[in-house]
Amino acid sequence: MHSLQQNLQDKHIKALIFDLDGVVTQTARVHAQAWKRMFDAYLQKRGEAEGKHYEPLDIETDYREHIDGIPRYDGVRNFLESRGIRLPEGTPEDEAGHETVAGLGNLKNMYFQELVKQEGVDVYEDTIAWLKQQKQKGLRTAIISASKNCVDVLHSAGIAHLFEEHVDGLQSGQLGLKGKPAPDIFLEAARRLGIAPQEIAIFEDARKGVQAGKAGGFGLVVGIDRTHDEAALKAGGADLVIQQFPAP
Ligand SMILES: O=P(O)(O)OC[C@H]1O[C@@H](O)[C@H](O)[C@@H](O)[C@@H]1O
């Protein structure tokens, strides 16, 4: 298989669109931790009330399959469905922990923000070094994220200036963009860069993210495999899977 660099050349790639959590910043595991804390407590309480056992959230399987890369409330709904639970939607104003899709999502967000405040945000140094090198070569860059915390995370990590455009969960809501695996968020970033999808490479760690890149007809879809998920990323449509970015 050709190297990343060779693929960029062969496909005449002019721009790079990076997913945030798990590709650029080490926040995929922070999200996963916050989700687990919220859901495990909820399932325990609900199980006790019903005299029933619910399997706790497994980060390797449940998080990747039902939550990773998609908007917050979709993640709540998807995971609960996997446990045979259906809750009313509620509204974004619902109190954190209220027994609705929004209420549980809001509690997870509280936990996520607490963790970011306590621990700060770490970047993946391999991504940053490679990205800076590509920028020097003249490639254009954008960042996307299903997360509504995207801008805060970029600022905490001090890397907002590396991207010309960003499309996040807040803007997706305002613009009515469909969540991944729909390609909407990537296509919006391409539109803002003014470059055709065929001339853009996508970098994604989530299964639904590579599916979105494929569905959008992007020139190159690169799966970033930080957690031994290569087979699923390939099955989702990644043209190439790498464990880390090549050292410049
Ligand atoms: O709840 P937020 O910050 O808007 O993030 C939504 C989703 O954003 C994605 O980037 C993460 O992979 C998910 O774990 C997260 O749930």
- C-alpha 116 – ligand 1 centre gap (Å): 13
Is 73 within 8 Å of 94 (Cβ atoms)? no
User: Using CA of residue 146, residue 150, residue 154, residue 160, what is the dihedral sign?
Assistant: positive
Q: In what order do the strands lie in the sheet with 15-19?
A: 165-167, 140-144, 15-19, 200-204, 220-224, 240-242
Ligand 1 atom at shortest distance from the alpha carbon of 109: 1
Do the two domains 4-27+122-242 and 29-119 of this chain adopt the same fold?
A: no
The whole-model pTM stands at: 0.95
Q: Is 142 helix (H, G, I), strand (E, B) or coil?
A: strand
CATH number of the 4-27+122-242 domain? 3.40.50.1000
Domain ranges (residues) in the chain: 4-27+122-242, 29-119
Nearest CA to ligand 1 atom 1: 72
Amino acid letter, residue 205 = D
Residue 221 identity: V
Q: How far is the CA of 246 from the centre of ligand 1 (A)?
A: 27
Task: Return the CATH number of the domain spanning residue range 29-119.
Answer: 1.10.150
- Which positions are catalytic? 19, 21
The pLDDT tens digits of the residues spanning 162-176 come to: 999 999 999 999 999
Which residue from 145, 151, 152, 168 has its CB within 8 A of the most atoms of ligand 1, so it is best to mutate? 145
pLDDT tens-digit readout, 96-153: 999 999 999 999 999 999 999 999 999 999 999 999 999 999 999 999 999 999 999 9
The residue whose CA is least distant from atom 5 of ligand 1 is 147
